[in-house]
Structure 1
Amino acid sequence: MTTTPPAPTRSGTTPGVRGLATLVGFLVVVELASGILQGYYTPIFSDIAAHLGIQDADVNWFEAAQLLVSALCVPPLARLGDLVGHKKVLLISTAVTAVGSWGVAFAPSFETFLVAWALQGFYVVWLPLEVAIIYRRTAGTGRQGVLTRRSAAVLVGALELAVIIGALTSGTLVEATSMTVLLALPAVVVTVCFVVIWVGIDDTPGEATGGFDWPGLGLVTTALLLVMGGLIAVRLQGPGSLLPWLLIGAGLLVLVPFHRVEAARADPMIDVRLLATRGQWPVQLTAFLFGISVLGAQIPLSTFARTDPEVTGYGLGADAAFVSTLVGVYVVFLAIGALTLPLSARLLGPRGALVGGALLVALGYGLFLPFHDSTTQTLLNMAIAGLGSGALVAALPATAAAAAPADRTGFATGMTNATKTVGGAFASSVFAIALASTGSLDEPGAGQAPLSGYLTVWAICSVSAVAAALVLLMMPRPVEAGPEAAVDVVPVL
């Protein structure tokens, strides 16, 4: 039995494509909001620390909390979208993000700011939900895959542009307005985004059947919170205390029943059996190691650039506008690394391109150890790291998909983002400990992290990237994603 594709209209489009451009236009607004959230705050982290009366190192806890929330919310929200409808979950996640954004603007203390900042992490599920919405809209066109990839590429292009716009905007306005007004602008953008989703996107019911893996979600949440609690206890009580290590050990032990529960389920939230295969674990471990630098190092780079060398003896003494430029350079080179992946895959082979990207990241951060005294050195180091990061961002999902069964490719690609986010969360916690300042608050440069802390951050980023390159060499050749797969991959920040 054969099926006849829908007849084209006079304009040459099929019914499933009608309104696709309008839909993508509405979703572009969502990704503009996402990009602003990702780029807006980076140049002003030092100003936020001063606004809250905290040390630069403590800003890393914001990123750690948000990344942890992001890692935990993606699998259940993605599953919920399949069950009840993607627009409903997109609205819910946007509402939570808006509440968090307004909380960031008006938070009176470090603790309330931390909670609000963590809630902003719900934005991470926007792009996967948007792609799912587009995929359903293009069903029956005969070109579902092509149209989805092209639409997703437009969304990611808007995201990357908005990252640069957000960074440049905050860097320009930081001296011209109050911190409350400055922090309220992203909240306004996210609120407008909520209205756009409500008005512009059709609501469709979910198509998935089956239950929700509450036991798996509960166990993995418990494990991550225990480990994160242990890292916080290290910061508060010191590495010589017993409590931090008990918490970390308990978190690792929880993974044992988690593995058993997930392996026994027919529809687990996290398919541990697939992740343990030879084709998957090197890719997922690489994503975790990559998250250390691509997500965990953002705040340390910002605070280092803003540190006044006349007070501390190190730093660039840059203003927020320069940090905006630094973000822009990094994003541009990240895009170059992603877009040139097909060429590098043809020249070096699929695995060679991945290994080369990891080594570029290692080189970029390794160069910070001897060369960190000028803006030129910093820009060069970040450009090198950006090229490698772009290649990994684009290639890891395709490689995971190539090593997964046809009905599990979505899970495999999504897990590369989740493991990367967990790596960034743990790295942010470790970096907060490494950058903790010492000495009296009355001393010059009080609240500034020591140079040894920044050297530790860069060394960890470089070593983790080298470890990722070694792990990639263990990837079996038959599951490597070829250049044709790389072409279809959408680079996602």
Structure 2
Amino acid sequence: MASMNVKLAGGVVGALVVVEGTSGVLQGYYTPLLTDIARHLGIHDADVNWFEAAQLLLSAIVVPVLARLGDMIGHRKILIASLVVTALSSWALAFAPSFPLFVLAWAIQGFYVVWLPLNVAIIHSRARDMENGAALTRRGAGIIVAALQAGAILGALAGGQLGGMLPLWATLSVPAAMVTIALFVVLFKVPDTGARAGGTIDTRGTVVLTLGLLALTGGLSLIRLDGFSPWVVAMMALGLALMWLFVRVEKGTDEPLVDIDLLKRPTVWPVILTATLFGVSVLGAQGPLSTFARTDPAEVGYGLGLTSATTSYLIGAYVMSLLVGALLFARLSARFSPRAVLIAASFLVAGGYLALIPLHGSTAVVVSCMIVAGLGSGALVAALPAAAASAAPPHQTAMATGLTNTTKTIGGAFASTAFAIALVSGAAAGAGAGESTAGTLSGYITVWAICGGTAIVAAIALFAVPKVAFTSNVEVEEGVAPLEAVGPDVVASRVDLFDGDEGRA
């Protein structure tokens, strides 16, 4: 057993744990600092949502391209390239002197979103030809997602504490240094799996998708500036038309950026829809949670009035619940089924956020609600990429897992934009106007209602998935169950998967 633990720690999954731990730090570190960043840049609290909107929009565009490139030329190569870009943007973020440059650096940092699908694809490539490969992929995904959540906890606590001790530029340099370390870990510890699908990049599809997403988010941005003007309607209509064109282009392309036929599989489309709706809460609601916690109730009559340090404890408790949910996913899916766990997790997310609408008057109650939502969110973070990988053909695993992240980021981008509009409604327009820069209570209630409602829709959609889905690598065609479900984990296969030997699958 001790020998197996050594191999686990030093193998491929051990190296990917470092990468996902760093990804978690990036996701948790900045959250307690958002109010401090807003004061530093002289912007309204609601405007910090534009950071996430810009980053998630860029991520939604680059993730399918990078995932496709990973299938074509190697997952490791693309992982290294994305680490380089993320490291450079993270260092730029620490020294950005203005709001536009800060948003630009924050957006480019979003390349880290592709790490999880690439890492799951690397694990799947090594496990695919082993006995019980689907279960091994789930286990490996659960481990690296647990590292992601642990990193987010560490990041939230460290960001909150260091924010009160160091200058802002020094505080923001810490995650940049960690990304640099992760880059060298991958360079020296992660071998190339050898999996290649060949092909080319769908340039037409990429351009149309980019223009469509820009038009849709641009229309939402104009609502913030001019209300529901004719320009908003025109931009939204253009965006929807371009997304329709994107589907038509992909159907007529031999090697599409997004395989529409893959999306139509009965085991895939509910997962992708769930990922989209899940992105609303897990990505779009983090900023509002932080700014609500920092809002002074003595000033506006609502909020928790916490400091950056105490806010980090709230964020840490929430992310700890994500970690617990991710760790429980593999065990619960073996006892029941991955489908049942996905449905239950979605209802937990819905319950946690909807409970915040009447119960947001004290820190203890808010933390309790976020823990409930976090348990469901952690299970979904672990489940969705693994479910997509199991449902997809071997040569499309990165595309399938990448689609879960792409659609999740699209959901988060639209939610961040919508939440920025909701939170600023009726509030002061600028930080220097001498009025309160806090988001409105009605805006926060809108945020929680949207997060809860989208989670309920996701749970309903998952009922359409075949009951025995995601339990083996056997393809599940419509109306046909897999030939057999996977059995218990095989210790020998675990050693093979987590060993760093380049000769393994």
In the TM superposition, what is the alpha-carbon distance from 1:331 to its structure 2 partner?
A: 2.1
The residue that corresponds to 1:9 in the other structure is: none
Is 1:313 aligned to 2:304, yes or no?
no
From the superposition, tell whether residues 111 and 374 of structure 1 become closer, same or farther in structure 2 (CA, over 3 Å): same
RMSD: 3.2
With over 3 angstroms needed to count, the CA separation of the structure-2 counterparts of 1:456 and 1:487, relative to structure 1, is farther
Distance 1:133 1:414, change over 3 A: closer
Offset from partner CA, 1:371-391 (integer Å, 9 cap, x none): 111111111100111122223
1:454–1:29: structure 2 CA closer, same or farther, 3 Å change rule? same
Assess, with a 3 A threshold, how the Cα gap between structure 1 residues 358 and 150 changes in structure 2: closer, same or farther: closer
CA distance in 1, matches of 2:298, 2:384: 42
**CA–CA distance in 1 between the matches of 2:269 and 2:54?**
25
Aligned partners of 1:399, 1:147: CA distance in 2, in Å? Answer: 12
Distance 2:220 2:205 in 1: 23
- Give the unaligned 5+ runs of structure 1: 1-11, 489-493
**Which residue of structure 2 aligns with residue 471 of structure 1?**
461
1:231 aligned to 2:220? yes
The 3-state SS of whatever aligns with 1:477 is: coil
- 1:125 aligned onto 2:122: no
Does residue 325 of structure 2 align to residue 337 of structure 1?
Answer: yes
In structure 2, the residue matched to 1:363 is 351
Q: Is the contact between residue 31 and residue 155 of structure 1 (CA under 8 Å) also seen in structure 2?
A: yes
Q: Distance in 1 between matches of 2:126 and 2:192?
A: 11
Counterpart position of 2:253: 265
Contact 1:311 1:444 in 2 (8 A): no
Q: Are the structure 2 counterparts of residues 388 and 154 from structure 1 closer, same or farther at C-alpha, using a change threshold of 3 Å?
A: closer
Residue matched to 1:158: 147
Question: Measured at CA, do residues 129 and 140 of structure 1 come closer, stay the same or move farther in structure 2, by a change above 3 Å?
Answer: same
For residues 163 and 260 of structure 2, what CA distance do their matches in structure 1 show?
46
Instruction: Tell me what 1:185 maps to.
Output: 174
Change (3 A) 1:147 1:234: same
Instruction: Give, in whole Å, the separation in 1 of the partners of 2:392 and 2:196.
Output: 22
Contact 1:342 1:487 in 2 (8 A): no
Give yes or no for contact 1:70–1:122 (8 Å, CA) kept in 2.
Answer: yes
- Counterpart position of 2:438: 448
Deviates more, 1:299-308 or 1:180-189: 180-189
Distance 1:476 1:41, change over 3 A: closer
Q: What's the counterpart of residue 196 of structure 2?
A: 207
Residue aligning to 1:70: 59
Which shifted more, 391-400 or 162-171?
A: 391-400
For the Cα contact (< 8 Å) 1:171–1:323, is it kept in 2? yes
Superimposed CA distance per residue, residues 162-187 of structure 1 (whole angstroms, 9 cap, x where no aligned partner): 11111111111111111111111111
Q: Which amino acid aligns with 1:60?
A: N
CA contact (8 A) 2:349 2:374 kept: yes
Match of 2:406 among 412, 418, 422: 418
After superposition, the C-alpha distances for 1:348-371 in whole angstroms (9 at most, x for unaligned) are 765444333222211111111111
Determine if the alignment matches structure 1 residue 285 to structure 2 residue 247. no
CA distance in 2: counterparts of 1:355 and 1:137, whole angstroms: 29
State how far apart, in whole Å, the 2-side matches of 1:35 and 1:487 are.
30
TM alignment of 1:374-389, pairs within 5 A: 374-389=362-377
Which amino acid in structure 2 is aligned with residue 53 of structure 1? G
CA shift, 1:340, in A, is 3.3
Question: Is 1:76–1:217's contact at 8 Å kept on the other side of the alignment?
Answer: yes
CA–CA separation in structure 2 for the residues paired with 1:355 and 1:93: 32
CA gap of 1:478–1:445, structure 2 versus 1, over 3 A, is same
Larger mean CA deviation between 433-442 and 214-223 belongs to 433-442
Cross-structure match for 2:292: 304
1:172 to 161, 180, 189: 161
| Alignment partners' CA distance in 1, 2:421 and 2:188 | 45
Q: Which runs of 5+ in 2 are unaligned?
A: 473-484, 490-505
Closer/same/farther in 2, CA of residues 341 and 173 from structure 1, 3 Å limit: closer
Alpha-carbon offset, residue 479 of structure 1:
5.7
Partner of 1:294: 282
Taking the aligned partners of 1:462 and 1:49, their CA distance within structure 2 comes to 27
* 2:27 is the alignment partner of 1:43: no
Supply the distance in 2 between the matched residues of 1:286 and 1:306 (Cα, whole angstroms).
Answer: 30
2: CA distance, partners of 1:45 / 1:398: 32
Is the 2:71–2:398 Cα contact (8 Å) retained in structure 1? no
Distance 1:472 1:129, change over 3 A: closer
Question: Residues of 2 paired with 1:125 and 1:313: CA distance?
Answer: 41
Deviation at 1:224, TM superposition (A): 0.7
* Distance (Å, rounded) in 2 between the aligned partners of 1:197 and 1:337: 27
Equivalents in 2 of 1:352, 1:192: separation in Å? 38
Deviation at 1:147, TM superposition (A): 6.3
Query: Which stretch of structure 1 is more off in the superposition, 279-288 or 429-438?
Result: 279-288
Mean Cα deviation higher: 198-207 or 178-187? 198-207
Distance in 2 (CA, whole Å) between partners of 1:203 and 1:353 is 33
- Residue by residue over 1:419-474, the C-alpha shift from the partner in whole angstroms, topping out at 9 and shown as x without a partner, is 1111011000000001115247677752111111111111111121222223233x
TM-score (norm 1): 0.86
Q: Paired residue for 1:105?
A: 94
What is aligned with 1:6? none
In the superposition, the TM-score normalised over structure 2's length comes to 0.84
Whole-Å Cα distance in 2 between the matches of residues 334 and 326 of structure 1?
A: 13
Which secondary structure does the structure 1 equivalent of 2:93 belong to? helix
User: Given that residues 145 and 381 in structure 2 are in contact (C-alpha distance below 8 angstroms), is that contact kept between their aligned partners in structure 1?
Assistant: no
C-alpha separation in 2, matches of 1:44 and 1:320: 6
Map of 1:491 onto structure 2: none
Give per-residue Cα distances to partners, 1:93-147, cap 9 Å, x unaligned: 1121112111211111111100000011001122333344455667888787676
Name the amino acid aligned to 1:213: D
Deviations 1:211-248 (A, max 9, x none): 22111111111111110111111111112x11122111
Q: Which residue type is aligned with residue 381 of structure 2?
A: V
Q: Which moved more, 1:136-145 or 1:264-273?
A: 136-145
Instruction: Tell me how far 1:256 sits from its aligned partner.
Output: 2.4
Q: In 2, Cα distance between the equivalents of 1:122 and 1:105? A: 17
Question: Relative to structure 1, is the Cα distance of residues 130 and 468 closer, same or farther in structure 2, using a 3 angstrom cutoff?
Answer: closer
Amino acid at match of 1:459: A
TM-superposed deviation, 1:52: 0.7
Pairwise CA distance, 1:63: 0.5
Structure 1: how far apart are the matches of 2:78 and 2:186? 11
